[in-house]
Amino acid sequence: MNLETIQAGLAAGVGGVLFTLAFAFNSRLHRSLHSPLAASAISFTISFVFVGSLVGLWGQWNITPLGQAPWWAFLGGATGSCSIILSLLALPRIGLVALGIAIVFGQLGFSLLIEQFGLTTIVRGVLGTKEILGLGLILVAVVLIQSQREAAPTAESKAESIPEDRVKELN
């Protein structure tokens, strides 16, 4: 394994940490606003300002080759928004750990299909026994974690036993 591969793996791992933090932050915003759509809109507005600032800072705004991209390449923002909204709806019911593993299952499963058929990448035909087994193990992890969560008391049932002044303190 070369240094560039290690650096890419570390960057992806940090991206996963940030992705999980974003879900935790967005979940708290969702709880405050009582709306996954409003929480997502605020989150994406802040993202737009943040990334726009980075583009301005590094001066990497060149839209000249924009017409060379296929139509479906512009759907990333919409699919990302749907991902956040669906995750905010699922998170209170399944928890952050099960959500994270379910997301990895979905990402891995669909990534394998995309690469198997060469839909958006140049890699083709990677689906084999090891990939299917790995995907199956991730699915087993989701089921095991969720079954444990369903047996445990929920955050709401615990919150009912916390005195009101302590709840305000925690929020």
What pLDDT tens digit does each residue of the chain (171 aa) get? 789 988 988 998 898 889 889 888 999 999 999 999 999 999 999 999 999 899 888 877 777 888 888 888 889 889 988 999 999 999 888 888 888 888 988 888 888 888 888 777 666 777 888 988 988 998 898 888 878 777 776 555 454 445 555 556 555
Give residues with Cβ within 8 angstroms of 84, minimum separation 6.
Answer: 22, 23, 26, 36, 40, 43, 44
Delimit the domains of the chain by residue range: 3-61+75-156
| pLDDT computed for residue 28 by the predictor | 93
If phi over 0 gives left and psi between -120 and 50 gives alpha, with beta otherwise, what is residue 121? beta
CB 44 within 8 A of CB 81: yes
Token duo for residue 5? 């591969």
Whole-model pTM over 0.85:
no
